[in-house]
Structure 1
């Protein structure tokens, strides 16, 4: 379980890839879907359910953390 937490933390920090709102949403969604599929398979929730939830959360986090240029 510890390895999954570390893997999740590493993948979540990688959601900062991209400069635009769309790039960050796509990369965050992809990373979240992959992480969610793994966690869903391990916890018994199912990889598809985990991928959907993880993808949505990752895309939201990626889009929400887009740096603003003033």
Structure 2
């Protein structure tokens, strides 16, 4: 039962992210930032065993990484 409760937060975040993103038109960079923050929050939560600080830290780091990417592969 504890395993289900531990997975509930990250799964809820993953399921709600598309609904939140569909509410308002966003630029490509804003979408990348939101997705990065969501993925980072889930990863931080899983890696720290559900710690609030780990979840927030993961969201912050993921948001920064998502903001810095443009979603296009560089071709040389």
Decide: shared fold, TM above 0.5.
yes
CA distance in 2, matches of 1:22, 1:40: 27
Where do residues 1-70 of structure 1 align in structure 2 (5 Å cutoff)? 20-41=28-49, 47-67=51-71
- Note closer, same or farther for the CA distance 1:50–1:65 as it changes in structure 2 (3 Å cut): same
Name whichever structure is richer in helix by fraction. 1
| Structure 2 runs not aligned, ≥5 long | 1-26
Equivalent position SS for 2:41: helix
Extract structure 1 runs of 4+ deviating beyond 3 A: none
Q: TM-score, normalised by structure 1?
A: 0.59
Count the aligned residue pairs: 46
Shift of residue 31, structure 1, vs aligned partner: 0.3
SS in 1 for 2:48: helix
Which residue pairs with 1:8 in the alignment? none
In 1, Cα distance between equivalents of 2:60 and 2:51: 14
TM-score normalised according to structure 2 size: 0.55
Query: CA RMSD of the aligned region, Å?
Result: 1.9
In the alignment, structure 1 segments of 5+ residues that lack a partner are: 1-18
